[in-house]
């Protein structure tokens, strides 16, 4: 895999850590771990500060409570198998070992957002590329970008479940078959409205299964107030979305099994 330079990553103007030089320096130091990682080598540990561990403790404890009420059963089962630490930021090395033992998926460090094709394509090799830095401590329940809370509490918990792991791999193969920028865009939108922000019915109650919802305290509390639409891949593939706000439109599958079958068919025939 091509090394990715941490220098490429600039914080957006509205990032809570934009004007905090200490945070920016920490982020650069953590990014350099992902930057220097070589495939096949052990994943080097990041020495998280007590403040960073505290952000993880606050957010993961609160989200665990939310998940009991708002997450679908398959996600709760998968996260119960993974058993993430509560009181400190987990090391990707240990998350990788656990997830790999459960479903054969690998978690690999990257210094920041990677190109779309690389992120999705790597899923075909049952590998998930994860950032390691954590959101700014001043706003523990908000991040304008994927951080280790989103990657691990959202995605790694999902990847500890066999059905989710198979869907991610199928998504990776589908992305590699995208023959044009338009096709990749359509694929990305479906990924967004399913594995990031999907909802399934469970005993007449909408439950979250997407990593974006499952890693956002505010959105888990509010997603039932969104415009919950019937599952429609055609509409998902064309609908615009804005990553900086709560999603105003979400798509609901009638059951987890129905979501799995339809999404798997979409990915395998893409």
- For Fe ion, give the closer residue by CB, 20 or 145: 145
Residue 111 in contact with residue 148, Cβ under 8 Å?
no
Token code pair at residue 50:
């007590």
Q: Which is nearer to Fe ion, 54 or 118 (CB)?
A: 118
Cα(89)–Cα(56) distance, rounded to whole angstroms?
A: 6
Interatomic CA distance for residues 184 and 117, integer angstroms = 8
What is the number of the residue whose Cβ is closest to Fe ion?
Answer: 211
- The three-class DSSP label of residue 212 is helix
47 part of the active site:
no
Residue 155 falls in the annotated catalytic set: yes
Q: Which residues contact 34 (CB under 8 A, 6 or more apart)?
A: 4, 6, 109, 110, 111, 112, 131, 132
Q: What angle, 0 to 180 degrees and rounded to 10, lies between the N-to-C axes of helices 92-103 and 162-177?
A: 100
* Catalytic residue, candidates 70, 151, 155, 216: 155
Nearest distance in Å: CB 222, Fe ion: 18
Q: How far is the CB of 262 from Fe ion (least distance, A)?
A: 21
Catalytic residue (one of 52, 66, 196, 219): 196
Q: Which residues bind Fe ion (CB under 5 A)?
A: 211
Kindly give, in sequence order, each residue whose CB lies less than 8 Å from that of residue 243, ignoring residues fewer than 6 positions away: none
The span from the CA of 130 to the CA of 153, in Å, is: 11
Of the two residues 29 and 31, which places its CB atom closer to Fe ion in the complex?
Answer: 31
Instruction: Identify the sign of the CA torsion 45, 46, 49, 53.
Output: negative
Report the alpha-carbon distance of residue 76 to residue 22 in Å, rounded: 36
Residues in CB range of 201: below 8 A, 6 or more apart:
207, 252, 253, 254, 255
The catalytic residue among 150, 151, 175, 188 is 150
Catalytic annotation present for 215: yes
Nearer to Fe ion, 174 or 211 (CB): 211
Catalytic: 151? Answer: no
Compute how many other C-beta atoms are within 10 angstroms of the C-beta atom of residue 151.
Answer: 22
Q: Shortest distance, CB of residue 214 to Fe ion, whole angstroms?
A: 10
Nearer to Fe ion, 54 or 145 (CB): 145
227-230 and 249-253 beta bridge pairing: parallel
Q: Which CB atom, from 211 or from 220, has the smaller least distance to Fe ion?
A: 211
Q: Which residues are catalytic?
A: 150, 155, 196, 215
């Amino acid at each position: 895999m091509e090394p990715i330079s941490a220098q490429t990553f600039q914080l957006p103007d509205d990032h809570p850590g934009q004007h905090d030089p200490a945070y920016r320096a920490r982020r650069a130091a953590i990014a350099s771990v992902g930057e220097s990682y070589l495939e096949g080598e052990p994943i080097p540990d990041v020495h998280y500060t007590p403040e960073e561990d505290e952000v993880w403790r606050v957010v993961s404890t609160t989200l665990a409570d939310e998940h009991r009420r708002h997450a679908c059963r398959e996600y709760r089962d998968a996260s119960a198998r993974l058993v993430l630490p509560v009181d400190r930021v987990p090391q990707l090395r240990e998350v990788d070992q656990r997830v790999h033992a459960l479903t054969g998926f690998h978690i690999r460090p990257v210094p920041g957002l990677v190109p779309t094709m690389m992120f999705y394509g790597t899923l075909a090799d049952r590998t998930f590329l994860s950032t390691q830095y954590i959101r700014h401590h001043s706003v523990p329940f908000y991040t304008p970008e994927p951080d280790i809370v989103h990657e691990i509490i959202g995605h790694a918990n999902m990847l500890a479940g066999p059905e989710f792991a198979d869907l991610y791999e199928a998504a990776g193969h589908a992305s590699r078959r995208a023959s044009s920028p338009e096709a990749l865009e359509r694929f990305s939108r479906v990924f967004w409205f399913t594995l990031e922000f999907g909802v399934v019915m469970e005993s007449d109650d909408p439950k979250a299964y997407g990593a974006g919802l499952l890693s956002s305290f505010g959105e888990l509390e509010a997603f039932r107030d969104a415009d919950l639409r019937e599952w429609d891949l055609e509409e998902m593939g064309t609908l615009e979305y804005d990553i900086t706000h709560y999603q105003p439109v979400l798509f609901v599958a009638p059951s987890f099994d129905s979501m799995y079958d339809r999404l798997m068919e979409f990915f395998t025939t893409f």
